Amino acid sequence: MNIRTKMISLLALLFTVLIVLEIAVQKQVLMPSFAQLEREDAETSMKRIGYALDMTLESLELSASDWGNWADVYQFVQSPKAAFVDANITPAAFKQLKVNAILIVDLHGDYVLSSARNLDTGELLDIDLAARNALPPDFPWRDNLSEGKSARGLLRTNKGIMMIAAAPVLDGSGGGQPLGMVLMGRLLTLAQVQMIGAQAQADLAMSRDPLVEGDELITEGAAATQVAKNFRDIYNRPLMSFRVAVPRRITERGQGAVTYASLYLIAAAVTVLVLLVVALNRIVLKPLARVTRHAVAIGEGADLGAQLNIPGRDEIAMLAREFDRMVERVADSRRQLVDQSFQAGFAELAKGVLHNLGNAMTPLGVRLSKLGDRLRDAPAGEVELAFAALSAESAGTTRRADLEEFLRLASRELAASVKEAQADVAVVQRQSTIVQTALTELMRSTRNAHVVESVRLPELVAQTLEIVPDAARQRLVVESDESLRKVGAVQVARTVLRLILQNLIINAADAVRDAGRDRGVLHFAAEIVPGEDSEQLHLHCKDDGVGISADNLQRVFDKGFSTKSRDTNYGIGLHWCANAIGALGGRIWAASDGPGLGASMHLMLPLPARSSAPNT
């Protein structure tokens, strides 16, 4: 896994964790806080219901207090009269007081007056509390009769739950000895419950059955939060329960807000992630990947002349520049090493050639020297003189006999010299064979593979000019065609090709000089030519020198041929170039429009592989 994948995965994981944490915070903190607010709101609504109920009871208590502090009631308790009942205990009075029951009780708890009616119809109502003659013995407000205290509360009747209030019977001025109490009751009907709910601004419902477990219960549903609370009667016993339903608007709106916030957070996270990835890719990952690919390519032996050239002042740009400088130094060191190795190989080869030829030529020279001495010592001249003298002598003379004896002895000596000379010739032949064999072996060693390097042609031309003599370099204006740059890096034997170009540049300078000019132009161009097996590099060198005649175009690469002075040239340069290019699997040829019109040298070299794409 590369760094880009690791970084993107890490960032994606980080943002995923943040989003998961945000969702967890929503579920564990925000949403429960909304629910808590709704519960508190429901509890507050229930408190408002309690306040509304208490205010209703208080209103009922005020009505009872008004009647209890009424002088007519005070007199009625002392002396009950039917006229009071007929005048005041009427359906209109019940409706005006909004009560269902009116009771006047003396100090003993006995009823002085009791009446119950239906508020809507005004008909008499059979309520068990009003149907009695006296308060029940366990009635909790009996102590209030003598103490003159007001009271209010709830009471279950046969007609339902009733709100009741009691006030002492006074003399009309708020004083005097209490004579009893006035009790007023109002049934807690559905309309009354709705009125209490409206006063508390809550959705109120009543259940006549109290809660079994606890006095208050909070339940949360999908649409509302419900609070149920028990209310006790005047006996302090659970009487009934009110239920308040609070719509879960806070949770709904909170959920909406949280959803929008989550979507915004996710969109922001994705946007930040994308921007961060783009920024990392542009600023760090892409340059780093470029440096990595370049380093891998350099490690695999690609073009050492390729440069990263990453602009900027950040660490990666500085690393790229330092890497470029390092590779450049390595390339220079490699070129120097290859050049030194090439020169050392040449020197070693020449040393071996001279040593082997010396070993072979020394006995050959000794044997030839002995053969020469033996031939010089042979009596060939004396034999010729003897033959001339013998032809002039007459037969039978003593001199003739001496000459014939001399010729016999000289012939024997000549025969011995010829035999020894034949032996020397045989030895010379064997020694020459040894020399020829040594030369053949050395020629085979020159065909060994050369070091192939990745080369850019403009740089190769520049390097070649550095080893060209100053006189030749100053005589030429070297122009490199744009095609040299477009070719890009090529795999060639740099040292050999540089020596070939060196010879061609020197020859071009000499051609300009022979044309009678102080300065000329040498133009280089190149192209990649498709071949049957592989691509080939076509390198074209054209000068404006003296030119080459048509008769000499095919002879310029022959050994020993030269149109220059024998004092300074031996016809070896172009012949060596042809052999060197042939050893590389290529070829060279010359072209010229004639004397005085300049000349062109064409080099065709096979390329084993393209090291990089051409520059654009």
CATH code, 488: 3.30.565.10
Beta-carbon-side half-sphere exposure of residue 151 (alpha carbons within 13 Å): 20
72: tokens are 């007519």
Which is it for strands 238-247 and 224-232: parallel, antiparallel or unpaired? antiparallel
Asked if residue 111 and residue 246 are part of one domain, the reply reads yes
Nearest to 464 by CA among 335, 277, 368, 596: 335
572: tokens are 């070896």
557: tokens are 């690469």
Q: Is residue 226 part of a domain?
A: yes
284: tokens are 């760090």
Over residues 333-375, the pLDDT tens digits come to 766 776 666 566 556 555 655 655 665 566 667 777 777 777 7
Asked if residue 495 and residue 422 are part of one domain, the reply reads no
150: tokens are 């007001």
User: Residues with Cβ < 8 Å from 278, sequence gap 6 or more?
Assistant: none
Helix, strand or coil, per DSSP, at residue 65: helix
Report how far residue 189's alpha carbon sits from residue 186's, in angstroms, rounded to the nearest whole number. Answer: 9
Asked if residue 146 and residue 45 are part of one domain, the reply reads yes
pLDDT confidence of residue 397: 78
Q: Is residue 258 part of a domain?
A: no
Q: Is residue 598 part of a domain?
A: yes
Asked if residue 125 and residue 77 are part of one domain, the reply reads yes
Rounding to the nearest 10 degrees, give the CA dihedral for residues 89, 91, 95, 96: -50
Chunked in runs of 10, what are the mean pLDDT values of the chain (616 residues)?
Answer: 76 84 80 83 89 94 93 92 92 92 93 92 91 91 86 94 94 86 94 90 89 87 88 93 87 80 83 84 78 75 68 79 77 68 60 57 70 76 77 74 78 81 77 64 55 84 87 89 88 86 91 90 92 86 90 80 54 77 88 88 83 40
Q: Is residue 612 part of a domain?
A: no
pLDDT confidence of residue 525: 94
pLDDT confidence of residue 128: 92
pLDDT confidence of residue 571: 45
Asked if residue 568 and residue 435 are part of one domain, the reply reads no
Nearest to 488 by CA among 604, 402, 612: 612
Asked if residue 527 and residue 440 are part of one domain, the reply reads no
pLDDT confidence of residue 613: 41
> What residue ranges in 496-594 does DSSP mark as E strands?
520-529, 536-543, 587-592
Asked if residue 466 and residue 347 are part of one domain, the reply reads no
Out of 445, 463, 484, a domain closes at: 445
State pTM to two decimals: 0.49
Asked if residue 355 and residue 212 are part of one domain, the reply reads no
Q: Is residue 515 part of a domain?
A: yes
Which single residue is written with the structure tokens 């807690």?
Answer: 188
DSSP H or E run through 52: helix 31-68
Nearest to 155 by CA among 138, 172, 168: 138
pLDDT confidence of residue 408: 81
Asked if residue 459 and residue 438 are part of one domain, the reply reads no
Asked if residue 464 and residue 355 are part of one domain, the reply reads no
Angle at the Cα of 203 (from 200 to 207), degrees rounded to 5? 105
Q: Tally the domains of the chain.
A: 3
Q: Is residue 295 part of a domain?
A: no
Report how far residue 254's alpha carbon sits from residue 41's, in angstroms, rounded to the nearest whole number. Answer: 15
Report how far residue 322's alpha carbon sits from residue 300's, in angstroms, rounded to the nearest whole number. Answer: 19
Q: The domain containing residue 368 runs over which residues? A: 327-445
Over residues 451-485, the pLDDT tens digits come to 778 888 998 898 888 888 888 888 999 998 899 98
Asked if residue 521 and residue 483 are part of one domain, the reply reads yes
Out of 219, 250, 281, a domain closes at: 250
CATH code of the domain covering residue 72: 3.30.450.20
Calculate the alpha carbon distances from 489 to 65, 325, 587 in Å. Answer: 116, 18, 20
| Residues pairing with 110 in the sheet | 134
CATH code of the domain covering residue 335: 1.20.120
Q: Is residue 552 part of a domain?
A: yes
Q: What is the 3-state secondary structure (H, E, C) of 228-243?
A: EEEEECCCCCEEEEEE
Q: At what angle do helices 31-68 and 249-280 cross, to 10 degrees?
A: 160
Q: Is residue 399 part of a domain?
A: yes
Asked if residue 237 and residue 147 are part of one domain, the reply reads yes
311: tokens are 């602009």
Q: Are 150 and 131 in contact, with CB atoms under 8 Å apart? A: no
Nearest to 185 by CA among 155, 147, 209, 215: 155
Nearest to 306 by CA among 285, 288, 287, 320: 320
244: tokens are 């308040």
Report how far residue 594's alpha carbon sits from residue 609's, in angstroms, rounded to the nearest whole number. Answer: 37
DSSP H or E run through 358: helix 315-377
Report how far residue 526's alpha carbon sits from residue 508's, in angstroms, rounded to the nearest whole number. Answer: 18
Out of 199, 215, 250, a domain closes at: 250
